[in-house]
Amino acid sequence: MSNKTLYDKLWNSHLVSQRDDGTALLYIDRHLIHEVTSPQAFEGLRLAGRTPWRADANFATPDHNIPTTKSERSQGLEGIKDPVSKIQVATLDENCKEFGILEMDMNDIRQGIVHVVGPEQGATLPGMTIVCGDSHTSTHGALGALAHGIGTSEVEHVLATQCLIARKAKNMLVRVDGQLKKGVTAKDIVLAIIGELGTAGGTGYTIEFGGEAIESLSIEGRMTVCNMAIEAGARAGLVACDTKTLDYIKGRPFAPSGDLWDKAASAWRGLKSDDGAIFDCVIELDAAEIDPQVTWGTSPEMVASVNGRIPFISEEVEKNKQANYEQALAYMGLKSGMAIGDIKLDCIFIGSCTNSRIEDLREAAAVVKGKQKAETVEVAMVVPGSGLVKQKAEEEGLDKIFIEAGLEWREPGCSMCLAMNADQLGAGKHCASTSNRNFEGRQGFGGRTHLVSPAMAAAAAIHGRFIDVSVL
């Protein structure tokens, strides 16, 4: 009889050695690379005369700095106007070439946000350890992999040694039971969880998401949930592997096939926590009680139901958080007690590694179909997560639905999720965004972000304010 959690199993199966100082050497199966956090790591290798331990464990694609308009993209590298961004992207190309690393470069139809591309290509597999110099690497946990973000010096360490020096985290289970209301999605689940846990509630834990509502999500929905585990402070989020997981992976370009598939599938079926598994902490939510969620502040935990209001800070918020909350409201230009439905929106962003997959785009398209963007909304853009997502959406005619409704249809990349390219939210503007961070200035200097699901963002584009998509 065993009582191991899925995290325990993944950890144990990759443990190379346990050191006396409490750290461990963990073997890494897959290392995903993008242009921003890798250049100094490659430079470090070169300076030390080292080569990657196993080049074929790595896989790269540029995303953060990539322009998203057709005219810029058609010029390839030359289309990147900021010289510093251009050098970063060109450097990734050169480093991958020099070190023999597979790259889907900016002219490759498979290019996209690294966390969208990994699963899409079958480079993310259940039971793996996966790292990337990016905090939203937690996304890949949706497939039953142990995945977390690392810093630049760790990127170099993984390249050189195929291992990470790590400390084991504690186990947390977040159970979401019951059934979701119509129009309520994975994004609303995870925002509600963060509202409950707080942005530091998961610190020091690996969170496994389970329960009926999580099981009934598609794999893409599970990715949305795991993507934001880091916003609750947990470096890694996980969902157990089930038949949906196997169906999702089968036939993808880098997934095993033939005999190897059979072998893999039988191993992956065991990737779940044992019945008697011991968690250090368990949180339970009822799916039926979750409304569409909207963040109103500058941290993902500052979240409310679309039908709710901003809290009265002096009465409803814990003392030690009040100053922080007041500051957030001042930045957002909003008032205590204001109804969420009264917030006026200037901009809509549908994209990012949280919500830019085909199901997200379908969900948004269904809401805007045959309608028109509100006059008061200045910019509404839809940015697919990868070239292949874009292609698929176009095959389904989603691009036309968006364009006819007055939304812009862009090329794949991180875009206005962090505004490292030219897609920037103006100062003082309110944006309904399907991304994952609403920090000050995240989408552009002075910009005001409200995190929502794709359906909520789409409805906000039509109405110029937030409306409850669960009653549409």
Partner 1 sequence: MKKFDAVKGLVLPLDRANVDTDFIIPKQFLKSIKRTGFGVNLFDEHRYLDKGEPDADNSKRPINEDFVLNKVRYANARILLTRENFGCGSSREHAPWALDDYGFRVILAPSFADIFFNNCFKNGLLPIVLDSKIIESLFAEVEAVPGFELSVDLEEQVIRMPDGGAINFEIEASRKHCLLNGLDDIGITLGDAELIRQFEDGWRATSPFYFTLK
Residues engaged in binding partner 1 (CB under 8 A): 16-17, 25, 27, 29-30, 39-40, 43-44, 47-48, 50, 53-54, 56-57, 59, 83-84, 87-88, 91, 102, 123, 125, 127-128, 153, 156-157, 160-163, 165, 254-256, 260-261, 263-264, 267
Give the nearest distance from C-beta 27 to partner 1 in angstroms.
6
331 binds, among ligand SF4, partner 1, none (CB under 5 to 8 A by kind): none
Member of 63, 359, 399, 468 binding ligand SF4 (CB under 6 A): 63
Q: Please tell me whether residue 352 binds ligand SF4 under the rule CB under 6 A.
A: yes
Q: Please tell me whether residue 414 binds ligand SF4 under the rule CB under 6 A.
A: yes
Which x/- pattern over 304-343 shows residues binding ligand SF4 (rule: CB under 6 A)?
A: ----------------------------------------
Q: Please tell me whether residue 134 binds ligand SF4 under the rule CB under 6 A.
A: yes
Q: Would you say 133 or 195 has its CB closer to ligand SF4?
A: 133
Q: How many residues bind ligand SF4 (CB under 6 A)?
A: 13
Q: Which two tokens stand for residue 457?
A: 């963002």
Give the nearest distance from C-beta 94 to partner 1 in angstroms.
10
| 3-class SS letters over the chain | CCCCCHHHHHHHHCEEEECCCCCEEEECCEEEECCCCCHHHHHHHHHHCCCCCCHHHEEECCCCCCCCCHHHHCCHHHHCCCHHHHHHHHHHHHHHHHHCCEECCCCCCCCECHHHHHHHHCCCCCCCEEEECCHHHHHHHHHCCEEEECCHHHHHHHHHHCEEEECCCEEEEEEEECCCCCCCCHHHHHHHHHHHHCCCCCCCEEEEEECHHHHCCCHHHHHHHHHHHHHHCCCEEECCCCHHHHHHHCCCCCCCCHHHHHHHHHHHCCCCCCCCCCCCEEEEEEHHHCCCEEECCCCCCCEEECCCECCCHHHHCCHHHHHHHHHHHHHHCCCCCCEHHHCCCCEEEECCCCCCCHHHHHHHHHHHCCCCCCCCCCEEEECCCEHHHHHHHHHCCHHHHHHHCCCEECCCCCHHHCCCCCCCCCCCCEEEECCCCCCCCCCCCCCEEEECCHHHHHHHHHHCCCCCHHHC
Q: Among 43, 68, 59, 49, which residue's Cα sits nearest to residue 115?
A: 59
CA distance 255 to 251: 6
39 binds, among partner 1, ligand SF4, none (CB under 5 to 8 A by kind): partner 1
414 binds, among partner 1, ligand SF4, none (CB under 5 to 8 A by kind): ligand SF4
87 binds, among partner 1, ligand SF4, none (CB under 5 to 8 A by kind): partner 1
The piece of 181-189, 389-397, 414-422, 461-469 that touches ligand SF4 (CB under 6 A) is 414-422
CA distance 467 to 472: 9
Give the nearest distance from C-beta 68 to partner 1 in angstroms.
21
Amino acid at 308: G
Q: Which two tokens stand for residue 134?
A: 């990016």
Give the nearest distance from C-beta 72 to partner 1 in angstroms.
20
264 binds, among ligand SF4, partner 1, none (CB under 5 to 8 A by kind): partner 1
Member of 32, 41, 92, 113 binding ligand SF4 (CB under 6 A): 113
Member of 350, 418, 452, 461 binding ligand SF4 (CB under 6 A): 418
Member of 353, 379, 425, 467 binding ligand SF4 (CB under 6 A): 353
CB within 8 A of 315, min separation 6: which ones? none
Member of 30, 136, 140, 222 binding ligand SF4 (CB under 6 A): 136
325 binds, among partner 1, ligand SF4, none (CB under 5 to 8 A by kind): none
Q: What is the CA radius of gyration of the chain?
A: 21
Q: Would you say 130 or 169 has its CB closer to partner 1?
A: 130
16 binds, among ligand SF4, partner 1, none (CB under 5 to 8 A by kind): partner 1
Member of 436, 449, 453, 470 binding ligand SF4 (CB under 6 A): 436
Q: Would you say 55 or 323 has its CB closer to partner 1?
A: 55
Q: Would you say 63 or 156 has its CB closer to ligand SF4?
A: 63
Give the nearest distance from C-beta 138 to ligand SF4 in angstroms.
10
Q: Would you say 161 or 324 has its CB closer to partner 1?
A: 161
Give the nearest distance from C-beta 18 to partner 1 in angstroms.
11
CA distance 240 to 227: 15
Residues that bind ligand SF4 (CB under 6 A): 63-64, 113, 115, 134, 136, 352-353, 414, 417-418, 435-436
